[in-house]
Amino acid sequence: MKKIISIIIATYNAEKTLKRCLNSIVSQKKDQLELLIIDGCSTDRTMDIVREFAESIDIIVSEVDEGIYDAWNKGIRLATGEWIMFLGADDYLLEGAMNVYWNYLKKHTLDGIDIITAQSKLIDAKGKYKRVFGNPYNIKEFRCYMKISHGSTLHNRKLFDELGNFDISFKICADYEFLLRKKLNARYIETTTKTIKIPVLGKVPAGVPIEAIQDILGYEEIPASMLKSGNNYFALKIDGDSMYPDYKTGDIIIIKQQSDCNSGDDCVVMVNGDDATFKRVIKQEKSIILKPLNNNYEPYYFDEYEILTKPVKIIGIAIEVRRKLR
């Protein structure tokens, strides 16, 4: 099938963030979406993670390169999509994000358009919201500083035929230099995001469906588009330090309800009919470990028999952290 969008991810020692990035893409992947991983011979577990997702990745390259722009240039040569997006290994797509792009491409005539830009939500390494970034392209403003969000921009592949590739002599800002080579014909995706409210829970009691829990601390808003795939969500307020430093008392965690997870996901888990706990789930061949991130706490080990008989049940996975500034 003809590819419409190619997503290129350049990686090097990205084991800490790559799984989240790939999960966010794979969950929204269609046949018209092409995914390329261009790795620079990582020395950590990056390629192990890539192999976990191999069935969903169209092209995998791992060889020595001269930096991110060299990797992107390799990806451009290999990509077959009409539009190209560059994501960092520490970026991830919000749920429903690709539907926004698909719908825009279907509804608009885009002959002669060089780039399609949108906004990005900036968060820090702990998942704390910082700000929204990305304005419409304006040549006068753009010549002064980079105002568009590169990670959420679709590039017409014809633009690379016209202007060439990224200049690898730049260690940073080669993407900015590339887009300065001509006055671009740009479109901007104006999104008016509809939101819904989900309950914030202080705990997840045993034997009570999420929607029936009465002990609600408040509400958080999430994009309504997140529900289109049939998923359900709730929020959990952290009380305690077992998952410190990634999660602190008072943090609000957005939880996607599901009964399974990948090894390394942070999950709400119910054990032995007790109230649910929030821990990192490490899967082994015939057992799982519920691992606190705070070394002052001991992990919980469950073998295959205990998983079935206690039972140990995944309630949902953490997809976002919201932390108030103090």
Question: The domain that contains 156 carries what CATH number?
Answer: 3.90.550.10
Worst-scoring range by mean pLDDT, 12-21, 209-218, 291-300? 209-218
Q: Of 140, 162, 188, at which residue does a domain stop? A: 188
Please tell me what DSSP assigns to residue 56: G
Q: Which two tokens stand for residue 276?
A: 């649910």
d(CA 166, CA 227): 38
Residues 265 and 159 in one domain: no
Statement to judge: residues 26 and 174 lie in one domain: yes
Do both 113 and 209 map to the same domain? no
- Model pLDDT for residues 256-310, shown as the tens digit of each residue: 999 999 999 999 998 887 778 899 999 998 899 999 999 999 999 999 999 999 8
Q: In angstroms, rounded to a whole number, what is the distance separating the alpha carbons of residues 118 and 261?
A: 30
- What is d(CA 248, CA 226) in angstroms, rounded to the nearest whole number? 25
Catalytic residue among 242, 248, 287, 313: 242
**Residue 33 pairs with which residues in a beta bridge?**
5
Q: Assess contact for 307 and 300: CB atoms under 8 A.
A: no
Tokens 């995914």 sit on residue: 35
Residue 326 pLDDT: 46
Q: Give me the number of domains the chain comprises.
A: 2
What torsion, rounded to 10 degrees, do the Cα atoms 45, 39, 50, 54 define? -150
Closest of 268, 246, 274 to residue 255, by C-alpha: 268
- Of 159, 188, 217, the position where a domain reaches its end is 188
Domain-terminating residue out of 166, 188, 210:
188
Instruction: Using DSSP, state whether 42 is helix, strand or coil.
Output: coil
Examine the domain organization and report whether 167 and 306 are in the same domain. no
CATH of the domain at 254: 2.10.109.10
Whether residue 106 sits in one domain with residue 59: yes
Catalytic residue among 74, 256, 279, 291: 279
Determine if the peptide bond prior to 299 is cis (ω within 30°): no
Asked if residue 217 and residue 174 are part of one domain, the reply reads no
Q: Tell me the per-residue pLDDT of 61-90, one tens digit each, with 9 for 90 and over.
A: 999 999 999 999 999 999 999 999 999 999
User: Domain limits at 126?
Assistant: 5-188
Active-site residue, 256 included: no
Tens digit of pLDDT for each residue in 43-67? 999 999 999 999 999 999 999 999 9
DSSP 263: T
- Mark whether 141 and 241 lie in a shared domain: no
CA separation for the pair 131, 121 (Å, rounded): 6
Is 149 assigned a catalytic role? no
